[in-house]
Amino acid sequence: MSLLTVGTVAFDNIETPFGKAEKVIGGAATYISWAASYFTNDIHIVSVVGEDFPEDELSALESRGVNLEGLQKKKGEKSFYWSGRYHTDMNTRDTLDTQLNVLADFEPILPESAKKAEFVMLGNLTPQVQISVIDQLETKPKLIVLDTMNFWMDTAMDSLREVLHRIDVLTINDEEARQLSGEYSLVKAWHKIKEMGPKYLIIKKGEHGALLFHEDYIFSAPALPLAEVYDPTGAGDTFAGGFIGYLASTGNVSYPNMKLAVIYGSAMASFCVEKFSLERMKSLDSDQIENRIEEFENLVYFDTKLNGK
Amino acid sequence: MSLLTVGTVAFDNIETPFGKAEKVIGGAATYISWAASYFTNDIHIVSVVGEDFPEDELSALESRGVNLEGLQKKKGEKSFYWSGRYHTDMNTRDTLDTQLNVLADFEPILPESAKKAEFVMLGNLTPQVQISVIDQLETKPKLIVLDTMNFWMDTAMDSLREVLHRIDVLTINDEEARQLSGEYSLVKAWHKIKEMGPKYLIIKKGEHGALLFHEDYIFSAPALPLAEVYDPTGAGDTFAGGFIGYLASTGNVSYPNMKLAVIYGSAMASFCVEKFSLERMKSLDSDQIENRIEEFENLVYFDTKLNGK
């Protein structure tokens, strides 16, 4: 089924304890689309880039089944740019520079082909932009997933509250879930956030995995312990892309299938961090993905019927 | 099979955001024994208390099948005392006071009844004391589990290295695994720690669960997300007690059974934190434990064969 993703298409400057990657391709919509493209080839990006964005990167996306009709290209302007440095723990980072450029006055315009999307992934952007995308949809999607961050909780809480009422799945990290709900316990946080609109909450915990909350159910997905983590940039977006890409490919939004989607998202994120930027995401195949899903299965498997035997 | 546990039997003063518990019963050997007593009633404690330790607490342990022949009682002296305050996150704490008292010159003496123990749990104490216990064993146990902490890595690394060569399972937290190995990646940390002696490594991650490493296998156990966490004191020891108690009850130290033991340990720890001190550990029954094991099973269950259907 068709998938619409809205988010940045951008440049990143990344420093990790393992090295530097200067002005590499980044952006939420880029990572989401690459990850989703291993599951479906009916993907629409709504975003904006400047004149400086390399054409071959866009062609590479198109060759993966990504429709770029909704990607605005601003003549004489520059693409969104983010620069950051990761600490030794790879879980925390400092933002060194953010240049909004084309993003400063971005108004999303959905092409006709995207207005009936059945799956919608709203990457981390201002809640106002996310609302505008929902407003332009002509049919009610099967599923809307929203990513956001603490910055919007601090600066645009009213709009964030509005968009939360109109989506199905919210993905945030544990600190953001605590900030949004005012509750330290993630179980209590979910019960508060549920009242704000989302039917599902995914809490991304990086190297500690992810939690999926729905009604009174909790699903705990592990993270695959890795010998090498080169670059965590885009891992959250890659997770989201694998999650919604898998769901769109199956057309099934049942809770059991949603759990499996969290595992697909986690598997895609585990690939993403193995190399800098999009490098690993561009060199995957479905056998590698299925093998990794099996690794996740083995990682958590235990047999209660064993009971000492 | 018989289980010998060595560790503190002590008083705790605990402050959490939910309240205070003054001079309550604590100590590694106490938590380990209470947790293990739900699986086996052939438990020996080797430890030391002062004249101030309440007799009824010792009787309560005896009524759970705990043999106290190896518990030294020092006339005119005071029991080990620890006082700490937890931060809002409940994962970090400040030690406010530590009074070694009887522990200052503790020399463990194994009674005859404990010298042929088949399962040995060495709670967190000086590595010298842990070595002395192993020296006194008359037969090689089926399994020796060692708990330790960063303090001994800083102050007694030579003795710690020595004891690591003589044990089977090491339980530490993620920061300690990083310190001990000098590796940030826990996968790499395991490969370094394996060279130091242990055949198994359990990394306790508190609210993020636990990892079990063995050869090239990794098992990820979730933590049960809880609405209320009142007091994390003793959770690590309770984990160890559930882990080794379950193994001792089955007599089976295969890797698949070890994985299930990690789940039993995690289940016991999830009870422990629900109330202050030993309160919850004293009011359990086997139905509650089996129900919780089922909760852990459901928590991580997903079906790859579903694949959208």
pLDDT profile of chain B (309 residues), mean per 10: 97 91 95 98 97 97 97 97 89 90 96 97 97 98 97 96 98 96 96 98 96 98 94 95 98 97 98 93 96 97 81
Chain A environment of B300 (Cβ under 8 Å): 219-222, 300
Q: How far apart are CA A196 and CA A233, in angstroms?
A: 29
The answer to whether the CB atoms of A304 and B260 lie below 8 A apart is yes
What was the pLDDT predicted at B168?
A: 98
Q: What is the DSSP code string of A15-51? A: EETTEEEEEEEE-HHHHHHHHHTTT-S-EEEEEEEET
The answer to whether the CB atoms of B227 and A188 lie below 8 A apart is yes
What was the pLDDT predicted at B309?
A: 58
B246 vs chain A: nearest CA distance in angstroms? 8
Angle at B86 between CA B83 and CA B88, to 5 degrees: 165
Q: How far apart are CA B72 and CA B106, in angstroms?
A: 9
- Residues B228, B19 contacting (CB under 8 angstroms): no
- State CA B31 to chain mean position distance: 7
Return the axis-axis angle of helices A174-181 and A186-195, rounded to nearest 10°: 60
- Residues A3, A36 contacting (CB under 8 angstroms): yes
Instruction: Supply the pTM of this predicted model.
Output: 0.96
- Residues B230, B276 contacting (CB under 8 angstroms): yes
Closest-CA residue of A relative to B218 is A299
pLDDT in tens, A189-248: 999 999 999 999 999 999 999 999 999 999 999 999 999 988 999 999 999 999 999 999
Percent of chain A with pLDDT over 90: 93
Task: Give the mean pLDDT of A290-303.
Answer: 97
Q: Which residues contact B110 (CB under 8 A, 6 or more apart)?
A: B4, B46, B70, B133, B136, B137
Q: Please say whether the dihedral angle defined by the alpha carbons of residues B45, B49, B54 and B55, taken in this order, is positive or negative.
A: positive
Closest-CA residue of B relative to A306 is B257
Please report, for chain A, the start and end positions of each structural domain, with discontinuous segments joined by +: 3-300
What was the ipTM of the complex prediction? 0.94
Kindly give the pairing relationship between strand A200-204 and strand B66-74. Answer: unpaired
Kindly indicate whether the domain formed by B3-300 is annotated with CATH number 3.30.750.200.
no
Sheet of B81-86: strand order equals B19-26, B10-16, B81-86, B93-99
The answer to whether the CB atoms of A252 and B293 lie below 8 A apart is no
Q: Three-class SS of residue B146?
A: strand
- Residues B235, B219 contacting (CB under 8 angstroms): no
Of A89, A185, A222, the CB nearest to B228: A185
